[in-house]
Amino acid sequence: MTVILGINAYHGDSAACVVVDGTLRAAVEEERFRRVKHWAGFPKQAIAYCLDAAGLSLGDVEYAAINSDPSAHLLKKIGFLVRKRPEFRLVLQRLKNAKDRVSLPQEFERAFPGSRFQAQVRRVEHHLAHLASAYYAGPFAEASVVSVDGFGDFSSGAWGRVVDGAIEVADRVYFPHSLGVFYQALTQYLGFPNYGDEYKVMGLAPYGRPTFVEPLRNVVRLEQQGRFELGLEYFRHHVEDTSYTWSGGVPSVGNLFSGALEELLGPARKPEDPLEDRHRDLAHSVQATYEEAFFHLLAYVHRTEGINALALAGGCGMNSVANGKVRRRSPFQQVYVQSAAGDAGGAIGAALQTKAELGDRARSPMPHAYWGPEFDARGISSALADARAQLDAANCSVVEHEDEGALCETVAAAIAAGDVVGWFQGRMEWGPRALGNRSILCDPRRDDMKDILNLKIKRRESFRPFAPSILREHVSGWFEEDDDVPFMMKVFQIRQERRVQIPAVTHVDGSGRLQTVDHATNPRYARLIEAFMAKTDVPILLNTSFNENEPVVCKPEEAIACFLRTKMDVLVLGDTVVRRPAPNGS
């Protein structure tokens, strides 16, 4: 038996996975246990879960693979130091980060005292891990591979192809140039300072116009051979210590843009400032500028590699708006994006790349994202019993259903009546998206559902859209493109005539970030959508993550707590339905 433990540590979204004899057995992000979004550090609890789920101990692990290799691109690093002479504090910070990353055996000894760690540590260069996560977990035997993100191991992008089952990297973009840093810096400029706030800019972009594209072409410049460069005068990350913090908590990144950017675009927005048309136009222009560079790269990769299938990963692989345009704006006709395209996915990439280097180059396709913790009827009953006093105080009814069909009929009727439903089923999702196992579900037909959700639970910006989960066989009838999108990683245009039917999941530009659902990968969720369709003729549910400004719930206790502190109407835990009394007492 060959056991490979894959980890992402010292980046945001610390995570772990375990691969046994070439098969993925478990994968989870550390944030789900720590209850801190994007938690960064050593993923002790994620490792413990993965080993337990596979029935293993730390001593069974033969290879510990991490998606970082501090020795990679050493000559490039030395050359940069000589040429650019960055601030001394920046050099010290980078040296400290490198020191932290070479102490992996010691980390295991501290995290698991008394356990025997005898695994061989395999360090996989950051972008090679991203590429491996996209190819080896994907559906294509032959593919071009592309990774684009902020930075990892001194580069921000890599691309190439797969030959005889082995990834061959053709070229890279090196520090300090980065599309990820561009998007993150402009996200900060727009007044969204938190790590991971880029999705807010994507949501705001359709409200604006591309009036800032021309000046932003000074900020991101297209070069030969698909490459891009930053106008470095507009950034600080390459010469100053921007205070990257990646250990033991919320990832934190200091201000990345320089005063020159404000001279070019005007004053930066403060988080407390109201959003104006100028900010909406900037968001639109940022997305358009990113897409120009992204499709410039993809056109070159296709031209040089000549393969019509694309496997995509890296933090920028989370840009679902751009991903949804790949088939329209590039020659690629097939696109796979890992469910955890960002740094968390590097854990799977490191494990699968190690598997390939050990001689097993067979792909391990990942058709679904349900690799996290699950809880049986006994665990759910125990959690409900512990919360009984609070549920009684809220006058909640608790009914267990023995028949899945009856359960789905009951829940579909509640959704069709306008209730907000927490849906907690099976194994938790891997990656940032709720995909029908840790979801809040609502009726997509209601004009007011966005406002209801934000009032009752989410309390988030009104410009952010909610996503449609749709039965796979109905995609072509509701969207302008027909494709598998199991991980909610692509945005498509909703057909013009359908938009009026599903206003709650139709963004201002007529788009929707869809998730395709089928019986093979999530039979209960598919059955629920079918039950809703039977009542409404709509094969779609509004799906958003089961949380309230926190990581997605992992345990039934967390689902109950979220239900009780919000105004959710119904909670479904496995076969049990918990319902609040109707507001009118009926």
Question: From first to last of its 586 residues, what are the pLDDT tens digits of the chain?
Answer: 899 999 999 889 999 999 999 999 999 999 999 999 999 999 999 999 999 999 999 999 999 999 999 888 777 666 666 565 555 454 445 545 555 555 788 899 999 998 989 999 999 999 999 999 999 999 999 999 999 999 999 999 999 999 899 999 999 999 999 999 999 999 999 999 999 999 999 999 999 999 999 999 999 999 999 999 999 999 999 887 666 666 678 888 899 999 999 999 999 999 999 999 999 999 999 999 999 999 999 999 999 999 999 999 999 999 999 999 999 999 999 999 999 999 999 999 999 999 999 999 999 999 999 999 999 999 999 999 999 999 999 999 999 999 999 999 999 999 999 999 999 999 999 999 999 999 999 999 999 999 999 888 878 888 999 999 999 999 999 999 999 999 999 999 999 999 999 999 999 999 999 999 999 999 999 999 999 999 999 999 999 999 998 999 999 999 999 999 999 999 999 999 999 998 765 4
Q: Which CATH superfamily is domain 148-344 in?
A: ATPase, nucleotide binding domain (3.30.420.40)
CATH 3.90.870.20 placement within the chain: 377-579
| Closest to 436 in 3D by CA, of 448, 422, 420, 446 | 422
Q: At 100, give phi and psi (nearest 5°).
A: -60, -35
Ramachandran region of residue 460, left (φ > 0), alpha (ψ -120 to 50) or beta? beta
CA angle 432, 372, 381 (to 5 degrees): 115
314 DSSP β-pair partners: none
341: which 2 tokens?
């395209």
Q: How far is CA 138 from CA 144, 229, 239, in A?
A: 12, 30, 38
Q: Tell me the CATH number for domain 3-125.
A: 3.30.420.40
Q: Per-residue b/e over 30-57, b at no fewer than 16 CB within 10 Å? A: bbbbbebbbbbbbbbbbbbbbbebbebe
What is the distance, to the nearest Å, from the Cα of residue 274 to the centroid of all Cα atoms in its chain? 28
Tokens of 547: 């949380």
Q: Is the peptide bond before 583 cis (omega within 30 degrees of 0)?
A: no
- Structure-block tokens of residue 89: 């504090």
Pick the CATH number of 377-579 from 3.40.50.300, 1.20.120.1200, 3.40.50.2300, 3.90.870.20: 3.90.870.20
Beta bridge partners of 42: none
User: Where do the CATH 3.30.420.40 domains begin and end in the chain?
Assistant: 3-125, 148-344
Q: List b or e across 182-196, with b for residues whose CB sees 16 or more CB atoms inside 10 angstroms.
A: bbbbbbbbbbbebbb
